[in-house]
Amino acid sequence: MEGLIKGLIDLAIGGGGGDNNEMERERDHEEREERSRSTWAQVVSGDGEQDDADPPNQGDSRRQDHHNQNQWNKMEHSYGGSDQESRISEWRPSHSPQMDGQEEHADGWQTVHKKPLRGPQKVHMDHWHKYKHHPSEQEYSEEVQDNGQLEPSEEELVDLSQACNKLWELDFNRLVPGKDYEIDCGEGKKPYNKEDMAAGNLFTWLGDDVLPRPTFSRFCSLLDNYNPIQGYKEEVTNEEKQEQVAFVEEISRTAPIKYLCKYLSNKGIISESYDEFKRLMIDLWFGLYGRGGTSGSSSAFEHVFVGEIKQCGEQEVSGFHNWLQFYLEEAKGRVDYQGYILPRRHGEFPDSETQLLTVQFEWNGVLKSVSSTFIGVSPEFEVALYTLCFFAGREDNRIRLGPYHVNVKCYRMGEKIGSIFPIAED
């Protein structure tokens, strides 16, 4: 066990470098994503409106980029913390979502949330420092027992939708609406409508026992390891790499990830070695690549789950398709939920029971016109689903997940995940 985890750490430390074709792959990916952006808004709302503004001329763009980067640099230099807080990402002013109600914080950040906060929950981080230890020295959950349900059927091996639905059924950690949490969807809107249609937060409350769950807790501890400015070169510490290895070790003990490994192995995509599979997962999700013109500035985990802020022309949020990140940032006052995107069919509207939402929000004052996310699913489910679609699917993966018809949109950047997210379909 110790030898395996050391090998995983060596991979994480050695990984993250690009190759000579990295920037060319990035340009190809961004061009494909740009072409599809207007059609995405059309898919979710039935309109052809595009949520991107036309960029200014190149000189204005460079000056704006320089100005914005200077603002982030000032925040980085002004922030300080204790040893226990040393892993807090420098761009963030506070690591706890508990708000004091003030409009401006001591470090110069202004709270973008103007709505009444509904009992924001304090995130207990006392144990997070243990995740920085060597993975072989950490404690993990018991491995889920394989009683036959983790073996893919012949039908699932030939039908990606059935395989994805099996992952949904195996998500034993998925939360129950009304029991584990409550959301208030507010009112609906079209993607081009910039009026705030939500009177309060998306999340009304979250159960006290949710965030301490092992995979949830380890996932949340990874969210502050990144600077969200697209093109900002990430500097990953050895402690953060150990957190990544330990997170993969934790989720690899769950049913969705074990099923994923068996599925990919049976399809001949990977070998039968579970150790090799874990190394693949670390490289796929945490290996750095170029985005925004800078090598080593992004990763699948950062883009999909944390989110990034584009600096070319008018600022916009890209990625950010995870409900735990949304909850934490909303509780801190950095996310302003502005309503859900109206479906194409009248009469089919989300409610407090809905676990797949298409929404609009601002993150630190920067707009995300259309964003889709699962609500209440476990981190291991999302990682398993997106990994499965990346290796066994295409750009469009129309599947069924429980009661939901979904298109998992997958953009590749060479052998990496450029972006991946769910789109609710009628």
Nearest to residue 69, comparing CAs of 310, 248, 296? 310
Residue 15 to residues 18, 207, 236, 241, 337: CA-CA distances in angstroms?
9, 37, 11, 10, 36
> Between vectors from CA 79 to CA 78 and to CA 81, what angle results, nearest 5°?
145
H/E stretch holding 29: helix 22-45
Catalytic one of 29, 166, 258, 303: 303
166 is catalytic: no
Catalytic one of 113, 241, 332, 368: 368
Residue 257 to residues 167, 169, 335: CA-CA distances in angstroms?
9, 13, 30
320, 360 contact by CB (below 8 A): no
CA distance 89 to 98: 17
Residue labelled with tokens 């950047």? 413
321 is catalytic: yes
CA distance 38 to 21: 28
322, 330 contact by CB (below 8 A): no
* Residues annotated as part of the active site: 303, 321, 368
